[in-house]
Amino acid sequence: MQITASTKIAALIGHPVGHSLSPVMHNHLYEKLDLDMAYLAFDVPPDQVVAAVDGLRALGCIGFNVTIPHKEAVYSLLDHIDENARVIGAVNTVKIDSGVLSGYNTDGPGFIQSLKNMGYSIKGKKTVIIGAGGSARAIGVYAAKEDPESILILNRTHEKAEVLAGLINEFKGRQLAGAVHEIPGDADIIINTTKLGMWPDINGNPLEGHKLDSRTVVCDIVYNPRQTAMLKYAQAQGCKTCGGLSMLICQGLRAVEIWLGYSLPGDSWQIMNEAANVL
């Protein structure tokens, strides 16, 4: 990759960011697609978020991704917020165009695309989301757009599952989602959006002890480790599975498309995946 005086900068801001796979995945893609761009990660302490965002704007960056714990802080600094991101209440991607900041959430489309890449669809399916945090909201809203049979939400804090179900129902204008206390035996798709199973607590498995139907597709959005305890458990019961790395790649590609304003070539997923798998 040759950095020139016209190279556009894309960035990640978070705290911490040292563990992020995004710089390697993005820069590999930019190089392979011959995009005159570079992607840098910045560890921004909470009291410097406003200064950092002003700096990215002043430097003419093309855009940036936002990760924990700055999603709320950045949301309040934006000039425009995409309608879906507004429903979700969080952005993870910001485009900077002539100094104007526009916020988007690529987690939902990233998850749906990762399922489609594997030949799975949510349409008409009984869909179960475990968790009711930020990523569950993003996936819940975008899953609702795919017209599933139902969306059932199971969360450690049940009240938050009820709030998310209410948000999805209001978004769809009908009773599509509900909060549940246990996973139904006839679920078509189960999606873990909690941190259970994430490094270093790699033995966490939200399905532990649950008898699965082998026709159920089981997805985990945790990508560290690639094969979580939940995915191994589901595979042992004959289920098809989808891991979180694919979603990470799809949401990253969507962010680049938002920054560039056009669609990336079809082999872009493989290019990012190639980079992620050498890490």
Where along the sequence are the contacts to ligand NAP (CB under 6 A)? 107, 110, 131-136, 155-157, 160, 193-196, 198, 221-223, 244, 247-248, 251
What is the Cα–Cα distance from 243 to 111, expressed in whole angstroms?
10
**Minimum distance from residue 127 beta carbon to ligand NAP (Å):** 16
Cβ proximity to ligand NAP: between 55 and 69 the closer is 69
Cβ proximity to ligand NAP: between 39 and 223 the closer is 223
Cβ proximity to ligand NAP: between 86 and 160 the closer is 160
**Minimum distance from residue 12 beta carbon to ligand NAP (Å):** 13
Select from 134, 150, 136, 239 the least CA-distant residue to 230: 239
- HSE at residue 255, side-chain half, CA atoms within 13 A, is 30
**Minimum distance from residue 128 beta carbon to ligand NAP (Å):** 13
What is the Cα–Cα distance from 274 to 205, expressed in whole angstroms?
28
* C-alpha distances out from residue 136 to 39, 97, 139, 151, 178, Å: 27, 29, 5, 11, 13
Cβ proximity to ligand NAP: between 172 and 195 the closer is 195
Q: Is 8 a catalytic residue?
A: no
Q: Give, for 153, the enclosing helix (H) or strand (E).
A: strand 150-154
**Minimum distance from residue 21 beta carbon to ligand NAP (Å):** 10
Burial (CB count within 10 angstroms: exposed 0-12, middle 13-18, buried 19+), residue 200: exposed
In DSSP terms, which residues pair with 100 in a beta bridge?
Answer: 97
**Minimum distance from residue 135 beta carbon to ligand NAP (Å):** 3
What is the Cα–Cα distance from 275 to 33, expressed in whole angstroms?
13
Look-up: residue for tokens 């695309």? 113
Cβ proximity to ligand NAP: between 66 and 196 the closer is 196
In DSSP terms, which residues pair with 42 in a beta bridge?
Answer: 13
Is the Cβ–Cβ distance between 163 and 129 less than 8 Å? no
Q: Give the CB-nearest residue to ligand NAP.
A: 133
Catalytic residue among 71, 145, 172, 195: 71
Query: What amino acid positions are annotated as catalytic residues?
Result: 71
